[in-house]
Each structure stands twice: as structure tokens, then as C-alpha cells.
Amino acid sequence: MPVVDPEGLVQTEDQTRTARGRLLQLIRAFGEPAAVVLGVITVFWKLALTKQYTFLSSPDAANMVVPRLQPVIYAIRHWSIMLWNPYELFGQPMIGMVQPGVTSPFTFLLAPAPLHNGQVQFFYICLWLVAIHCLAGLFAWRFIRELGCSGGPAVLGGILFTTMGYYGSTEWPNNLQPAIMTPLVFLFLLRSLRGRAPLKNAAWAGVMLGISWLCGHHDPPLMLSLAVAGIGIAAAIPRGHRRQAALRMLVFFGATGLMAAVQILPALEYGRLSTRWTETGAKIWRSHVPFQEHVDLGMTPPDLIHILIPGGRGSYSEPFVGIVALTLAAIAVWAGFRRKEVRLFAILAVATILYAMAGGDVLYGLFYALVPMVEKAREPIVVLFLFDFAVAALAALGAEMLISDRDRVGESKIVRTLVWVGGAILAFYFALGSFRPLGDDRPIMIGFIALLLAAALQAWRLNFIRREWALLPVCLLMMIEQGNVVGWGWARVTDTKRMAMVDALLDTRDLADWLRLQPNPKRIDKNGEDVAFNFGDWYRIDSAYAYGASMLTATNNLGGWWNERIGRMYGLNYTLSRKQPRPGLQEVFTGKTGIRIWYDPGAFPRAWTVHQIVVAPNEWNGADMMNNWTFDLRTTALTLRSKPDLETCPGADKVTYVNDQTQALQVNVEMACRGLLVVSDNWYPGWKAEIDGKSVDIWKVNTVIRGVIVPSGRHMVTMKYRPFSVYFGFLCTLIGLAGAVVLQRRREKDGIDLL
């Protein structure tokens, strides 16, 4: 008989138990985050799991967002950051424009995506949007866990946060990215206010808000900053706590300012030198956005119904929350209002709704008139991202109360209320549908979900559902409800009418291929009706026209839409248009869509020399002289207030070589005598020039472009974009991050709970 080894069996059993224990540890560690990601993908399945839909069919997405992503991703893939954009309006500071989001860490997630013809494919941009939502859900899950909620409520809250309202409907990635940092800001902020290593956590909360400022649009981080400031002021009201509250807020906003400096400083620089267009026309930095624009871009009292019933502002900012989230949030407020966090989030939800209704809230007028930057943040409805955050936190707390303290939440009353609400919605819309066809049948689904939620809670109340499975049907109903709204307006890729703007990006490739074969340097103009999107960004070809909200004021003062004199000065040698834009242009190529390329033989080269100067007393007079005087721009340059000391001579200068790169320029020139080398790229602070390796000054020429005084002889002139605002800002960002790390390493006692 074989001998049995009892000791070996014991060892095998121990190994099995150990393996099971490790498996359970892995499930506990990664199960909840995986559930959040799975839930988000389920709601966004049209983008994540198929190639049949896209969110890119809107004018802003197709004409601006997608084209601008191409040079940004190209730069990242070549181990660089795109600070200067030569593909728009004769050169613009990409980082100063903010919205392209070149400093956003989330943009780097798109960089590894496969390219087609050198460009990021639309499908991967859609996946990128889903990935951003998955991160947002994980941030919210971690925050809700910090509130003391168990796994189920935290998973529900994480999915809800990133799929409802502003987060679920916003189709501009650079507007969405700043908002998803909200849970991390509040995670460290609440730790600090509760007195847990208050200065350490205040610093990390500031770092998280600083990252929000780096991510794109300025509206969400500005509104988040206002919310935190309000919470800090409330915490400082008790007399005995003012010093502690002030110190924590000082550390918080100090860390925010340092962390965000690499984006904020270039943005302020560009803002003072640019013109921005809003609904009421052009605005410079000193201009005020009229209050009526804030009213028009805010909520109205009737919009409150769309918190429950879909049909709000659509892709702009959907206020929809849904019956499941409202029910759970109501449970939290009703049963747990004594809890400090519940009161905080309830007040935050009410305050943000009032802020969003700018036209009906007199307190908003005080913000508009007295608080810096609020007047320029003309979209109060964007604050709904904070409302959604507050509701998601309340819903998670309500779910926790529902499964842990059944006697206090009054399940029978909740069930009856849901039955009445669901029945009323169904009755109203069925009755309405009997008189006229319903263009939007999503509200009917909300009625059914209300009844199903009532049934699930009733089954839970009667013990037909075990406690550990109680939240599963609630979470499933929540995902169905949010999925009923998310993606409702996305275009099917087979819908040729709605995909026309997206298809235009691909249908013009033959034009770009022909242009790339032509000798450099080249710069294109285009008919905006024939080619609406940012052709220059999309194909990385220098361009005069861009779909966007702002441009340099000096360039705009020359007419914005360039006359022949200004266009030739800028070197516009090719124009895209179906019809001849003006006499004298030569047709050189016709694309498959009928768009033609027209060549202007009279366009200036990228660089030339002059020996004569006229002086304008100021910018405005200079623009008038450029537009209306008739001096020859090939031989004469205009400078402001003073003129360089030049020489005249019978010999001819020669520009022998021009190498025009994204953020640098090299020109080889032979000067007969001392003259001014003019380059038809926009003048802007941060450009540095060298002649044969020695630093020289750059003159602002013809009110908009750059010039360098070059002595006689052969010389190599180089210009590079090295902006002090960016480099100093980056140093501040490093200091802010390092400061948070240093504070983290030092010992710190817990402080007073300010909540």
C-alpha cells in the first residue's frame, strides 16, 4: 500500500488557504475600482465597445478640438510640449490660449494611441473620453470611501458622479478634464478641515486644484476655487478657529497658485494681448462681458425640472440627475442631516444651483461685480459640475444609510413616493403622446425606472433581497437611467448629414498632400465656408485662419480678415476656396471635393530685408497706417515710437536660407549694409533672437511681426520661443509640488476639527 504523507497534505491545504487569501485580497483591492470602470464603460458603451457612434460631430469638436489635438499629440510623441502654434493666425502662444490644454496630464493619455496618416484616429479620441470618465469615477470612488462609506455605496457614487449631468453630457474634453479633479480636491480639503495633518492635506488639496487649472478651460477651476474659498470663510466664522482656518486656506491657495503657475502666467500674458469673441462681439482684456451673457448662459427656474426629466441644455451642460440619485440624496438629507458632511454637500448643492441661475439670483450679481474673473467666466451653468459632485456624494451617503440603518429611512414612504412620481410621469407623457408625437421619449423611461426602483426597495424591505445584494438592483437602475441620457445626442457614423463636419477632416487630405510637395515656407488662407475646420492644425501647415474664440489684438487690428496688402505681407501664398477669392490668383490644384488651391505669386517670402523706416506714435495709428497708407512694405517697415539706425547702400541683400520650425526659425542672410531683417511671423513676448550666436533685440515691425537689425556681411539669424512666463511658471509649479512633498515628510500633529 502507498504511504500517505499527512504532513504533505497539511502543507497543501495551507498553500490552498494562502492562495485563496491572496485572491480575496486582490478582489478586495481591485474589485471595487474594477466595478467602477465596468459601470462607466457600460454607460458609455456606444463609444467604448463599438465604432458606430461619435461625440465629435458638433462644430466646436470637429472644427477646433480635434484639429488642435493633432499638433499637441505630435509634440508629445516627439518628447516636446507645444508652447507656440504656427498653424493658427500667423502664430499664437498655444499654452497661453489655455483651452488646448497643452499642460493637462490627461492629454498624455492620448499620445500613445495609434496614428493613421500621422493623425490620431477618431475612435481613439472617443476611447480617450471614456478613459477620462473612468478616471473621474475612480477619483469619486476614492473620495466616497474617505467619507466612510462601504464598497457598494462608493462604487455607486463613483459611477454616478462621472455619468450624470455635466460630466455625462459635456463633449469638450478640455472642459471636462478640470472638473474631474473635484473629488481629489475635496478629499484632501476635508482631511485638512477635520484636523488630520491639516497643513499637509491643505497643501495636497491645493496641488489637486492646481492640476485642475492646468487641464484646459478656466471656468471649472475658477468655480471650484470660489467654492473652497466659501467653505474656508464658513470655517473661519467661529472666533476661536479663525487663525487655524486662515492658515490652512493660506497653504491651500498658496499651493494652488504655485502648482498652476505654468498655465496661469502664460494665460494672463496672452489675455492682455488678445481679443476674445463672445455673443456680444469682440472683447479685449479691459472689456467687461455684459451681464446679459451670463444670464443667457445660465439656468432658468423652469430648467429645474430637467434635474429629474431629461431635456436640458444637451451637450452644453445637462442638469439631469435622475430619480435614483435624487432618491438616495433625499435619504441622506432626511436621515442624516446631523452629519457634518451631509450638511456641507446639501449646502453646496443648493448654492451651486443658485449660482447657475444667474438671472434670478441677486447674489450672483455681487460675484459678477466684485469677485475677480467671475465677469469673464460667462457660463454660470458650468457650475453644475459641483452640483453633480455634491449629489453624487449625498447619494452614496444615502445608499450607505439605506443598507445600514433601515429603521430611520422610512422605506415604505419612499416606495409610495416613487410609485406616485413614476405613475404621474407615465400618465402625463402617455396623455401628451395621445395628442401629438413625442420628439423625446426619454422621460417615459424615467417613469418606468421610478416604478422599478420602488419595486426593488419594496423587495428589500420585505427581505426578498439579501442585505449584501441590496444595492445591486439600485446600481443597475442608476446605470440604465444615466445611459438613457448619456450619448443620446451622439451621431451615428453612418449619418452622412451629421457626420459632414467630421468627414471634411478626411476629405481634404489630397489638398494637404499637394501642399506638402510644394517648397517651403508656405502659408495658407482659406474660405471659411468651404473649409470650416482648422486646416492648419489638422495637417500641421502654417495657416492664417482658425476656428476659435480669440486672437492677438495687434493682428485683429489689421482687419482680422486680411486685405491683399496685409495678406501678402504675411506670406499668404496659397488659398483654399471653391471660387477665386480675388483677381490675380492662379488656380494650381483641384481637390476631389471641388475645393481648389489658388496661388498668389505676389506674396512676400517668409523673410526679407528693408532699409527704410516709418514711425507710428502708437499701436492704433500704426494699424491705420498699415491699412491705409501706400508705402511699399517690401522696402519700408513701420516701427512704433522709435526707429532703428539703418544704412542705405546700392548693393542688394540676399536671404539665402529659411528654416521655419514650430518654435524656432533660422535665416541665413547676406547684407550689403546694415538693415532690418523682417520675418512674417507674429511678434510676441518670449521670442529671443541671436545673430551668429550673439543675443540681439527683436523689433516689433508693421505692428504685428518680428524684425532684427543685421550688420553687413553674411550672418545666421535664429529666433526661438523661450517665454519667461512659461519657464518661471514651470519653476513655480515644481516649487509647489516640492513644497507639498516636503510637508508630507515632516511630522505634524492633528489640529482642530473646523467642520
* pLDDT above 60 for 260: yes
Q: What is the mean pLDDT of residues 46-62?
A: 92
Neighbours of 323 (CB within 10 A): 24
Counting residues of the chain whose pLDDT is more than 70, the rounded percentage is 93
* pLDDT above 90 for 714: yes
Q: Sign of the C-alpha dihedral, residues 598, 601, 607, 610?
A: negative
Residues 411, 461: contact at Cβ < 8 Å?
yes
Residues 721, 687: contact at Cβ < 8 Å?
yes
- Grid coordinates representing 202? 491643505
The full set of domains in the chain, from first to last, is: 30-406 (no CATH), 500-599 (no CATH), 607-685+687-722 (2.60.40)
**In what side-by-side order are the strands of the sheet with 705-710?**
607-610, 675-682, 705-710, 699-701
Rg (CA), the chain: 30
- Report pLDDT for 433: 66
- Report pLDDT for 1: 46
Confidence of residue 409 (pLDDT cuts 50, 70, 90): low
* pLDDT above 70 for 379: yes
In a 13 Å sphere around the CA of 703, the CA atoms on its Cβ side amount to 23
Whole-model pTM: value is 0.91
Q: What is the mean pLDDT of residues 355-372?
A: 88
Q: Which long-range contacts (CB under 8 A, 24 or more apart) does 245-252 make?
A: 245/754, 247/198, 247/199, 248/192, 248/193, 248/198, 248/199, 248/202, 248/754, 249/202, 251/199, 251/202, 251/203, 251/206, 251/743, 252/189, 252/192, 252/202, 252/203, 252/205, 252/206, 252/209, 252/228
Listed range (18-22, 33-37, 332-336, 625-629) with the worst mean pLDDT: 18-22
Confidence of residue 638 (pLDDT cuts 50, 70, 90): very high
CA angle 652, 653, 657 (to 5 degrees): 140
* pLDDT above 90 for 106: yes
Burial string for 246-276 (b: 16+ CB within 10 Å, else e) reads eebbebbbebbbbbbbbbbbbbebbbebbbb
- Grid coordinates representing 614? 516709418
* pLDDT above 50 for 498: yes
* pLDDT above 70 for 8: no
Residues 695, 688: contact at Cβ < 8 Å?
yes
Distance separating alpha carbons of residues 755 and 753, to the nearest angstrom: 6
Highest mean pLDDT out of 92-106, 553-567, 708-722: 708-722
Neighbours of 235 (CB within 10 A): 21
- Report pLDDT for 372: 86
Residues 535, 507: contact at Cβ < 8 Å?
no
Q: Which of 77, 101, 250 is nearest to 180 (CA)?
A: 101
- Report pLDDT for 752: 83
> Which SS3 state, helix, strand or coil, does residue 597 take?
strand
Distance separating alpha carbons of residues 221 and 467, to the nearest angstrom: 40
CA angle 671, 661, 69 (to 5 degrees): 155
> Which SS3 state, helix, strand or coil, does residue 669 take?
strand
> Which SS3 state, helix, strand or coil, does residue 655 take?
strand
- Report pLDDT for 430: 79
Neighbours of 401 (CB within 10 A): 22
Strands (E), 580-729: 586-590, 596-599, 607-610, 612-616, 636-640, 654-660, 664-671, 675-682, 687-691, 694-696, 699-701, 705-710, 713-721
Q: Identify whether 521 is preceded by a cis peptide bond (ω within 30 of 0).
A: yes
- Grid coordinates representing 173? 474634453
- Report pLDDT for 23: 64
Distance separating alpha carbons of residues 28 and 21, to the nearest angstrom: 10
CA angle 188, 194, 200 (to 5 degrees): 45
Q: What is the pLDDT of residues 568-604, one digit of tens each?
A: 999 999 999 999 988 889 999 999 999 999 999 999 9
- Mean pLDDT (the chain) is 89
C-alpha pair distances (Å), 559 with each of 145, 329, 539, 620 = 56, 54, 26, 12
- Grid coordinates representing 367? 460675484
* pLDDT above 70 for 10: no
Distance separating alpha carbons of residues 260 and 732, to the nearest angstrom: 8
- Report pLDDT for 651: 83
* pLDDT above 70 for 387: yes
Neighbours of 448 (CB within 10 A): 16
Q: What is the mean pLDDT of residues 404-428?
A: 78
Higher pLDDT, 439 or 324: 324
Confidence of residue 13 (pLDDT cuts 50, 70, 90): low
* pLDDT above 60 for 674: yes
Q: How does DSSP classify residue 596?
A: E
Listed range (8-22, 77-91, 629-643) with the worst mean pLDDT: 8-22
Listed range (41-55, 178-192, 281-295) with the worst mean pLDDT: 281-295
Q: What is the mean pLDDT of residues 699-709?
A: 94
